[in-house]
Amino acid sequence: MARLVLPMLENFSHCLCSATKASLSQAHAHILKNGISLPETIQIFSKLDHFGHVIRVFSYMLTQGIVPDSRVFPTVIKTCAALSALQTGKQMHCFALVSGFGLDSVVLSSLLHMYVQFDRLKDARNVFDRLPQPGVVTSSALISRFARKGRVKETMELFHQTRHLGVELNLVSWNGMISGFNRSGSYLDAVLMFRNMHLEGLKPDGTSVSSVLPAVGDLEMPLMGIQIHCYVIKQGLGPDKFVVSALIDMYGKCACASEMSGVFDEMDEVDVGACNALVTGLSRNGLVDNALEVFRQFKGMDLNVVSWTSMIASCSQNGKDIEALELFREMQTEGIKPNSVTIPCLLPACGNIAALLHGKAAHCFSLRNGIFNDVYVGSALIDMYAKCGRMLASRLCFDMMPSRNLVSWNSLMAGYAMHGKTSEAINIFELMQRCGQKPDHVSFICVLSACTQGGLTKEGWFYFNSMSRNHGVEARMEHYSCMVTLLGRSGRLEEAHAMIKQMPFEPDSCVWGALLSSCRVHNRVDLGEIAAKRVFELEPRNPGNYILLSNIYASKAMWAEVDTVRDMMRSRGLKKKPGYSWIEIKNKVHMLLAGDSSHPQMPQIIEKLAKLTVEMKKSGYVPHTDFVLQDVEEQDKEQILCGHSEKLAVVLGLLNTKPGFPLQVIKNLRICRDCHAVIKFISDFEKREIFVRDTNRFHQFKGGVCSCGDYW
């Protein structure tokens, strides 16, 4: 019937909008003649999801003096929810009350659902309290919504109140609460709900199990996980695919790699969801290569966006950045469309190796596909552009975001800090608070490290002291590390050492390491030895620390001590971490290794470097050979310096790009003083702008000077 009269109704509705009074009354008469009343018209439009028409007919109905009945109100109220029309919805609420429907349970129930949709839990709760006899569905909708908000106390209160009213909550209600607690991160409450439902004699079903397992995993409760696994087997819930995926995920989070694989292998039929959970679980346990293997093995199957995205995320989180970029390209040739999660998983890979062109391509992709308003995408772009040396683009992304979260602010601040833009970082820190965003412990790491770059010890102390006093953020290990670096770098080594001694908890290897590397900057043997002793106890297998101490000795020509440290390394089987540099040239990322001759253009690189060295010496350059660890002849030291990967990468860039084209190099260690001097020279001699990002910060070379002002 609705189908037959629809054209007529549509016509009527359009007359409502625009036509003259005469044609409107004609249309109205027409539908009346066909036996369709206005309230009925409303029901028909509502069933067809023509929400605009519902409201229009409703207003017209009122002008005709027809009083809404108990059936019209729920429909119109539902329509308000669907249209996100809060004001109209509130008017309906008042209207229903004055029309005498204040006790009508259907009207009240529809109002409650409307307020729940608008996230106005207080209003929803008020309506609930007026319901003479709340139903299961209505009650559990409200309860699970409170749970989803993380309002544990109110959820439980409502839960008990409901049962007191005699509402028998069923499995669906309990499951709703469990998943609600999960979404708000109240994992322990989710687990407790699961246990309580079990104690009350309800039989958890597949949905209950797959709802509670993520919480068990996040809490890392493997014993509870095993119990639930047994329950799954006993109840025969094994064939449920959601349950299997959730089990794999739980074991992965609990570091039970073999149990995880066991569940996967016992599956009768391979499921994509389970496969995705396995990939994530493997890389979470440091087995990226196995994850890639599994992924390749099941590539023939119908892998989906989630599969590709999780593989990309695994790669970019585990140092396989180039692989991540390749996967992104590959998924598109396979016809899988990246979505708003894929982009923020890929962007860190671009940032890590400063693959600006790939990053821009991902940015363009998100613009073309309308996923630029996503907070995660925006924050990831801010971070990517900052790490690729493009602070202006980074700031632009920040400014264009329709809404920002803590991560967006922190990313921008970290970017400024990394670029040595201390005052900008501090300004952002102040601005975020004026915008109502509370800083967290990460924000303080950002602002303190910004102070480090500018040597602002006074400001650093100010922010450090204000942390717990004014912001309720307790200082963690990282904040002490930052302070030690800040003080140490600026030459206040005694102050840094005193700070470590006064820490309220045991300093870890990072804190002592910060002191050690500051001692390297100022070549302080005595304090360096103290710091090194502690670092070697706490972190005996990190070669970088031995190198630092050895370099301190080398700078004072204490070759016997250098030998002792080198012997220590050798006896512990440690080797110096090789220095790598990356440079992106014409959309291809080249990786260069110190002293490695495998790059096809190596002969040209060496030739060019030799020419440059001649020019440098003419202009008075003396190599900073004290940075070479080995006790060798001066001539050989120069040779060793020649091979530093950042220099090779810069020269490779010079050879393969047009004159004047800016270069950008990333290094996996800190830039050395000699390379710093050489690149300053090159930037002037070759008239190039050169960006070098090391593990600490950005160096922007232009016209023979560096943006760090030789302070790093």
Residues that bind DNA (CB under 7 A): 43, 46, 70-71, 74-75, 78, 81, 104, 106-107, 109-110, 113, 135-138, 140-141, 144, 169-173, 175-176, 179, 182, 205-211, 213-214, 240-243, 245-246, 249, 272-274, 276-277, 280, 305-307, 309-310, 313, 339-342, 344-345, 374, 376-377
Q: Of the two residues 284 and 497, which places its CB atom closer to DNA in the complex?
A: 284
In the bound state with DNA, the residue whose beta carbon lies nearer, of 256 and 514, is 256
Q: Which is nearer to DNA, 128 or 429 (by Cβ)?
A: 128
Contacts 24+ apart (CB under 8 A), 490-496: 490/455, 490/457, 491/522, 492/457, 493/518, 493/519, 493/522, 493/524, 493/527
Q: Shortest distance, CB of residue 172 to DNA, whole angstroms?
A: 4
588: helix, coil or strand?
strand
Number of C-alpha atoms within 13 angstroms, CB side, residue 31? 26
Of the pair 249, 674, the CB lying nearest DNA is at: 249
C-beta of 97 vs 136, nearer to DNA: 136
- Rounded to a whole number of angstroms, the minimum distance from the CB of residue 399 to DNA is 19
583: β partners: 590, 665
Residue 159 Cβ, how far from DNA at the closest point, in Å?
A: 13
Kindly tell me the sign of the dihedral angle through the C-alpha atoms of 523, 528, 529, 532. Answer: negative
Closest to DNA by CB, 3 vs 458, is 3
Q: Which is nearer to DNA, 366 or 490 (CB)?
A: 366
- Spatial neighbors of 591 by CB under 8 A, at least 6 apart, are 322, 580, 581, 582
* Closest separation in Å from C-beta 217 to DNA: 7
Instruction: Tell the smallest beta-carbon distance from residue 349 to DNA (Å).
Output: 12
CA distance 623 to 606: 17
Shortest reach from residue 563's CB to DNA, in Å: 46
- Of 75 and 481, which CB lies nearer to DNA in the complex structure? 75
Question: No. of H helices and E strands in the chain?
Answer: 38, 6
Backbone angles phi, psi at 576, to 5 degrees: -60, 135
Q: Which two tokens stand for residue 302?
A: 């119908």
167/652 with CB nearer DNA: 167
Range 548-577 burial, b when 16+ CB lie within 10 A, else e: bbbbbbbeeeeeebbeebbeebeeeebeee
Contacts of 90 (CB under 8 A, 6+ apart): none
Cβ contacts of residue 610 below 8 Å, gap of 6+?
Answer: none
Structure tokens belonging to residue 269: 């039929």
Residue 384: CB minimum distance to DNA, A: 13
**Sign of the alpha-carbon dihedral angle for 547, 549, 550, 555:** positive
Alpha helix stretches (DSSP H) within 388-421: 391-400, 406-418
Contacts (Cβ under 8 Å, ≥6 apart) of 157: none
Q: Which H, E and C letters describe 516-579, residue by residue?
A: HHHHHHHCCHHHHHHHHHHHHHHCCCCHHHHHHHHHHHHHCCCHHHHHHHHHHHHHCCCCCCCC
Q: How far is the CB of 308 from DNA (least distance, A)?
A: 8
CB 250, min distance to DNA, A: 8
Q: In what order do the strands lie in the sheet with 690-693?
A: 588-593, 580-585, 663-667, 690-693, 698-702, 705-706
Q: Which is nearer to DNA, 75 or 410 (CB)?
A: 75
Minimum CB–partner distance for residue 392 and DNA (Å): 24
Closest CA relative to residue 288, chosen from 321, 262, 264, 259: 321
Q: In angstroms, give the least distance from the CB of 315 to DNA.
A: 11
Query: Residue 2 CB, nearest distance to DNA (Å)?
Result: 11
Closer residue to DNA, CB minimum distance, 97 or 525? 97
Torsion of CA 553, 559, 564, 570, to 10 degrees: 100
Q: Which amino acid is at 640?
A: I
Q: Closer to DNA at the Cβ: 231 or 376?
A: 376
Q: How far apart are CB 539 and DNA at their closest, in Å? A: 27
| Collapsed DSSP state (helix, strand, coil) of residue 146 | helix
CB closer to DNA, 70 vs 604: 70
Contact 112, 142 (CB under 8 A): yes
**C-beta of 52: minimal distance to DNA in Å?**
16
Question: In which residue are the tokens 């009213």 written?
Answer: 165
Q: From the CB of 271, what's the least distance to DNA, in Å? A: 8
Nearer to DNA, 310 or 485 (CB): 310
**Comparison of 100 and 578: residue with beta carbon closer to DNA:** 100
Backbone angles phi, psi at 404, to 5 degrees: -125, 155
How far apart CA 108 and CA 586 sit, in angstroms, is 64
